[in-house]
Amino acid sequence: MKKRIFLISIAFVLSIVFLSGLVFSDEKAASSDPSLLSLERIFSSEEFTPEEFGQARWLKHKSGYIILEDSAGKDKEKDIVHYDPKTGKRRIEVAAARLIPEGQDSPLEIDDFQWSDDGKWLLIFTNSKKVWRQKTRGDYWVLNLENQELWKLGGDAKSSSLMFAKFSPDSTRVAYVHKNNIFVEHLVNKSEKRRIIQLTKDGSKTIINGTFDWVYEEEFHMRDGFRWSPDSKHIAYWQLDSNRVGIFKLINNTDSIYPEVTSIPYPKPGTTNSACRIGVVSAEEGATRWFKLPGDSRNHYIARMEWAANSEEIVFQRLNRLQNTDWVILGNINTSQVRTILVEKDDTWVDVVDEIKWLNKGKRFIWISERDGWRHVYVVSRSGKDIRLITPGDYDVIDVLEVDKKKGWLYFTASPENPRRCYLYRVRLNGQGKAQQLTPINIPGSHSYQFSPDCQWAFHTYSSFETPPRKELVRMPGHKKIRTLVDNKKLRDKLEVLKRHGVEFFRVDIGQGILLDAWCMKPPDFDPSKRYPVLFYVYGEPWGQTVLDRWRGNSYLWYVMLTQQGYMVMSVDNRGTPAPRGREWRKCVYRQIGILASTDQAAAVRAIIKNRSYIDSRRIGVWGWSGGGSMTLNAMFRYPDLYHTGMSVAPVPDQRLYDSIYQERYMGLPEDNKEGYEKGSPITFAHQLKGNLLVVHGTGDDNVHYQGTERLINKLIEHNKPFTMMAYPNRSHGIREGENTTRHLYELLTRYLKHNLPPTAGL
């Protein structure tokens, strides 16, 4: 028996050495041939790094935009430069030399910046640190543009401890969050005493003022938790109380000789959420007035809040715990009384409207709803009694971009004919006439826009699946190109040299009239008489599409490399992804996340195999990350005779272990949908694994916890299932931290793929 195990071990080692040699030989060939890609070229060099435009801001106090540009002759130093959109005239607004603090030799490194509304002050964000996913904590410096005085906000606050600093509308003060409390600092000359007022005093590890807990940030995209009133007299803010929320502990074993533990209040499905409420406080100090809302605050969410086009009322969106009802509420800051003006309901879930845009001096507002089966824009009266559809038709509005109140136009993105793309449209605010497509029809791909405040100008960025982004300045509404800002010609020239077959977009008929969007990448020397292995890239949850006609950077290049080495790569969007194909398409997965999606994916694979004789049905691979990692597990466990090899990165094996807001939105509460949670969780079917499985996870993942992968490992061990596991120490959900991590990960994926799904059938 020992001899047999020894021989098997030797055979395994030799196979790994052989496959490693193949990877090495591919890398060596690519290093001397510019038409071939290698992992080193993609992930370790800057050869395919796209050109960037930089941080640009349209100005409110005057025409034009400002942008960060390299300071002449200075390495890593940045000037803030103003451009006139009409003439292209360039002027250095703030030279890097003006941003050198007293007693220091080099200028501030700018992470972000903002101008005051009166144009007299500049706010610089620097020395930033991560809070969960984003760098939202750092130092803030103010530059007086009239006398060039530069000083740091926060008094004697520790370095990198301030958050979300922003000017008051009257440009006399700056408010910010420090240690979960809100402060206001007056803008004065250097000779004057700087007055700092602490508006809230109860902030602690569990009482959170002006910012959010982990789950609000992740699932509602909420970080900055306070708003200045238009008259600069008050501040409205969120307060969260995370007492009684379950604590998840992340263990860091690598940064010191003893483990370090980070404790995160992290509500899981069916457990206690943070309490949440909205208060208003005078910007000159005083007691907070809290709005009086009915019901248990731990079983409701306040997902959005803004001033309601005046300084007397707040508008906020309040969701029930199931997130199938959104109450739009006006709150009076003087009486603390509230009144509901609009209720949005759905049998599944409702999507929060990111920003309520007010019209006619606050008499009406823009609203987005799926009430007629499509995602459309409505104009609603302040009372909520008059609701008028302004984007009729059998298509979805993808996003509302800007409102030209002066001329009466709404600018939005949509793609009525092709859910893979995104184009700019405009429509009259009075609902008269049809929507007009402004993006030229001869520019394919996906398009995004950043409008000037007067809607006369816009930054237009566009790319396609095989073409990197270009950015240009356009004049609206005629979409006239004024000048190119980013061309990426060097990158496009590099891509032109590559051996590649070209992407094919198509639809898969899985029966019952259901057509799924898909793409296919073939080897450059594709021969339909041969048979090829296929790697399917999957995601499949309501959070994202994979079948989009836009540039995907290094992911695309990796797929090109695989096709050069003999693979086909495909992706399919199942029902339930956020494609602009109507409400029913998106929401038919309610209470069955992981079930319907994996069924659709498997049906698509079978249909593709049936209709394409050059696909080797014995060599079907699947891979994905996060929700795609979960989909990979479901594919391998639920359809073990269809998929041969799977690579699952940062998966959710058990839906009961993810956060409350996301999972309950799509699955309901665990006690009401026990069967759905069980059948939708891959771990339930782990005993059915037959193929080759690689599971990859970062042990420091604060989003999708490593805990779930550990439980999955135990289940696979219980059923004596062989698998391969790679844990990246203390890496987060993106597995990017640390030198060479990304390259190492894709080396691992490539090597595993070649060993278990060889591009040549005889290997």
pLDDT in tens, 135-164: 899 999 999 999 999 999 999 999 999 999
Confidence of residue 181 (pLDDT cuts 50, 70, 90): very high
Question: For 60-69, 170-179, 351-360, 428-437, which range has the lowest pLDDT when averaged over its residues?
Answer: 60-69
Q: Which amino acid is at 91?
A: R
| pLDDT score for 12 | 43
| pLDDT score for 9 | 42
pTM score, two decimals?
A: 0.93
Q: What is the pLDDT of residues 255-291, one digit of tens each?
A: 999 999 999 999 999 999 999 999 999 999 999 999 9
List the domain boundaries for the chain. 16-47+502-756
Residues in the chain: 763
Q: What is the pLDDT of residues 458-469, one digit of tens each?
A: 999 999 999 999
Largest CA distance in the chain: 86
Q: 3-class SS at 683?
A: helix
Q: Which residues pair with 177 in a beta bridge?
A: 163, 182
| pLDDT score for 24 | 57
| pLDDT score for 32 | 79
Contact at 8 Å (CB) between 354 and 334? no
Q: 3-class SS at 261?
A: strand
Confidence of residue 25 (pLDDT cuts 50, 70, 90): low
pLDDT, mean of residues 423-447: 96
Return d(Cα 83, Cα 91) in angstroms, integer: 7
Contact at 8 Å (CB) between 466 and 502? yes
Contact at 8 Å (CB) between 713 and 693? no
Q: Which amino acid is at 631?
A: M
- C-alpha distances in Å from residue 62, one per residue of 58, 402, 453: 9, 19, 10
Return d(Cα 642, Cα 651) in angstroms, integer: 20
Rg of the chain, C-alpha, whole Å: 27
Dihedral, 749, 754, 757, 761 alpha carbons, nearest 10: 170
| pLDDT score for 17 | 54
| pLDDT score for 23 | 60
Q: Which helix (H) or strand (E) holds 726?
A: strand 724-728
Complete edge-to-edge strand list for the sheet that includes strand 457-464: 446-451, 457-464, 467-475, 480-486
Of 370, 346, 348, 323, the C-alpha closest to 591 is 348
Confidence of residue 210 (pLDDT cuts 50, 70, 90): very high
pLDDT, mean of residues 51-59: 90
Q: What is the pLDDT of residues 2-14, one digit of tens each?
A: 444 344 344 444 5
Of 360, 131, 92, the C-alpha closest to 224 is 131
Confidence of residue 415 (pLDDT cuts 50, 70, 90): very high
| pLDDT score for 189 | 75
| pLDDT score for 80 | 95
Dihedral, 459, 463, 467, 468 alpha carbons, nearest 10: 50
Whether 706 shows a pLDDT value over 80: the answer reads yes
Higher pLDDT, 696 or 444: 696
User: According to the CATH classification, is domain 16-47+502-756 in 3.40.50.1820?
Assistant: yes
Angle formed by the axes of helices 741-756 and 554-564, to 10°? 30
Confidence of residue 760 (pLDDT cuts 50, 70, 90): confident
| pLDDT score for 761 | 56
Whether 62 shows a pLDDT value over 90: the answer reads no
Q: 3-class SS at 713?
A: helix
| pLDDT score for 5 | 37
| pLDDT score for 549 | 98
Of 683, 655, 657, the C-alpha closest to 591 is 655
Whether 588 shows a pLDDT value over 50: the answer reads yes
Q: 3-class SS at 440?
A: coil
pLDDT, mean of residues 595-615: 98
| pLDDT score for 193 | 77
Of 236, 241, 212, 235, the C-alpha closest to 224 is 212
Q: At 348, list the tokens.
A: 């599944």
pLDDT, mean of residues 191-201: 89
* Angle 289-290-291 from CA coordinates, rounded to 5°: 125
Cα-to-chain-centroid distance, residue 321: 23
Question: For 29-43, 136-150, 231-245, 730-744, which range has the lowest pLDDT when averaged over its residues?
Answer: 29-43
| pLDDT score for 15 | 52
Contact at 8 Å (CB) between 622 and 536? yes
| pLDDT score for 468 | 97
Long-range contacts (CB closer than 8 Å, 24 or more residues apart) made by 640-644 = 640/688, 640/689, 640/690, 640/691, 641/690, 642/602, 642/605, 642/606, 643/605, 643/691, 644/618, 644/619, 644/620, 644/691, 644/692, 644/756, 644/757
